[in-house]
Amino acid sequence: MEAKQPLQSESKEHYSAIVDQPKYQAIRVGNKTLFSRAVGQFFTPPTIATHLVNALVNLLPLKPISVVDPFAGDGRLIVALLQGLSNIGWEKLLRISLWERDSQVLKLARRNVRLFASSCGIPIILRTRVCDTFRVASTFAEEFDLVVTNPPWEILKPDRRELKHLTGSDRDLYLSKLKSEDEFISHQYPLSQPSRKFSGWGTNLSRVGTEAAMLLVRKEGICAVVSPLSLFADQVSENLRRTIVSNYELTDLAYFPAEGRFFKKVDQPSVTFVAKKRPPQRLCPVISVYNSSGELADARRVRLTRKMVKSTGYCLPLQLGAGGFEILSAFSNLPRLAELESNPDSLWAGRELDETDRHAFLTTRGRHPFLKGQMIQRFTIAEQPKLFIRANGPRIPPSASHSRLVWRDVARPNQARRMHATMIPASWVTGNSLNVAFFRDDDTTKLKALLAIMNSIAFEVQVRALLATAHVSLGAVRRVHIPELTNRNIVLSLSTWVDKCLSGDLRAGVHFEVAVAKAYGLAKPRFRELLTFFPLLPEPHTRHLLDSHLWNAKH
């Protein structure tokens, strides 16, 4: 049975009024059209859809239910739902609603769902709506028993590569529509707004879509969402995460690595979550991790404490799996790096010069050598600086008068190690592809101890838990737990190992790791567990780490 509603006109006020035009659908930036960039049009792959459905079908009440996919695409999530329900012998009526802003895609979705429901014998009432979900969701608040969806994946902002394809009037119209849409969404969906925006832009449509899905589900209903990993890992979505964790009973969380290429046109990790709309009595979701071959590598139920989740800004390190949560709990009683910044002679951390237009202020001679991220490696300067800041160039930052610890701002997730830090002397100036830190009292011994900690496996595993992209943000680093640096014996020991590492002693590169692990209070068995999160480390290196004589030393 199908109830078809008239095509709606809500989307005409959407910025898509311009990108819907054929000439803009033809514009490509990389492997995406301007249309797909604006609306975040990426359909859910089978592995992800199947996991999401399997995680929710046994939570449904055995009675007729209402279901909506507010970003339906070609209907594949609802088809997957029908398949999952068929597998458990479901016979109850489903009142299915499909919402989609692309009328042609919605026709395909309607056909797919109708045909599959007929083939598996599940009774349905099917309603379809061509609409802008962001504008109509509030009209249907708490109306559905089940919301299952994959919201659009894009940041609402202009791209210079796109704008160069547009004429002056079209460019102005496109920007105007984007800004109008951003203002509307900011007002209508406050929970999903980033804690900070850059140049006035930054609304993430996947976050907004998640908030819309949460709005649509009724009390005791089920919300099941596909999202980029960044929903549970970035530094700007804490409000939305807090709402999910505080007001919904999370039952299932799953991680899908970027290397799996689950989405053909998306090179980033993704997650799914299933949650029941009721205040949680406890946090005990099943955490599943898939490998790059699309196979389920691990699935375990984890008991989370509110203290631990709150302390991470409600970040959930799904990429580390259930074991990652257990590991991180071992550090929870230690201070955070951010606490080193709390008094007058404390740590200063930040970035120095914007290197975007660096060629305009660099020369071959000068007093202040210029350093970029790619020029450093762990404990070493891989490429000595050959360019200098012009005398009439940008103001030399005050931090350049100190010896500093520096680390790369970018490191891809598929690298064996993601923290690349070393020391640089005073007078050198860094671009913003490096973060820098120094103690205001110029305590270089303590700074070297901090360098050992930041280059360590114990530190990096925590960083990885807080990252969703290749960007090693200062915000994430500040949240990492570190050993107490008030213990002078620890500081002197770590500083000594760093001196050896900086001089090129290869054996010190093994032993300092053990010294840091022991400073964290980790025994050898726990450290062995940490190593499982670094699968790209050469086997001889991991063997040397575990065989280090320092494990048997008393201090």
- E strands, 94-205, are 94-100, 124-130, 144-149, 155-156, 203-204
Which residue carries 């020391």 as its tokens? 423
* Chain centroid offset of residue 286 CA: 19
Q: Are 274 and 231 in contact (CB under 8 A)?
A: no
* Prediction pTM value: 0.82
3-state helix, strand, coil in the chain (%, to 5): 40, 20, 35
- In angstroms, the CA 109 to CA 114 distance is 8
311 pLDDT above the threshold of 90: no
Q: Which two tokens stand for residue 57?
A: 């079908």
307 pLDDT above the threshold of 50: yes
Q: Are 139 and 97 in contact (CB under 8 A)?
A: no
The 3-class secondary structure across 59-118, one letter per residue, is HCCCCCEEEEECCCCCCHHHHHHHHHHHHCCCCCCEEEEEEECCHHHHHHHHHHHHHHHH
CATH of 337-552, one of 1.10.1790.20, 3.90.220.10, 3.90.740.10, 3.40.50.970: 3.90.220.10
Averaged over 175-200, what is the pLDDT?
Answer: 87
> What was the pLDDT predicted at 166?
80
pLDDT classification of 342: cutoffs 50, 70, 90: confident
pLDDT tens-place string over residues 100-158: 999 999 999 999 999 999 999 999 999 999 999 999 999 999 999 999 999 998 888 87
pLDDT classification of 12: cutoffs 50, 70, 90: very low
Instruction: Show Cβ contacts of residue 394 under 8 Å, excluding neighbours closer than 6 positions.
Output: 353, 361
Q: Are 107 and 69 in contact (CB under 8 A)?
A: no
Task: Report the DSSP beta bridge partners of residue 494.
Answer: none
Residue 52 burial class via C-beta count within 10 angstroms: exposed 0-12, middle 13-18, buried 19 and up: buried
> What was the pLDDT predicted at 127?
98
- In angstroms, the CA 254 to CA 246 distance is 19
Q: Which two tokens stand for residue 367?
A: 């007093």
- In angstroms, the CA 116 to CA 112 distance is 6
Q: Which two tokens stand for residue 386?
A: 């050959």
Percent of the chain with pLDDT over 70: 92
> What was the pLDDT predicted at 29?
42
Q: Give the domain ranges of the chain.
A: 2-281, 337-552
Question: Which CATH superfamily groups domain 2-281?
Answer: Vaccinia Virus protein VP39 (3.40.50.150)
256 pLDDT above the threshold of 90: yes
- In angstroms, the CA 424 to CA 446 distance is 15
More confident residue, 253 or 175: 253
pLDDT tens-place string over residues 437-477: 999 999 999 999 999 999 999 999 999 988 877 889 898 89
What is the overall mean pLDDT for the chain?
A: 89
pLDDT classification of 42: cutoffs 50, 70, 90: low
The residue length of the chain stands at 555
What single letter denotes the amino acid at residue 352?
Answer: E
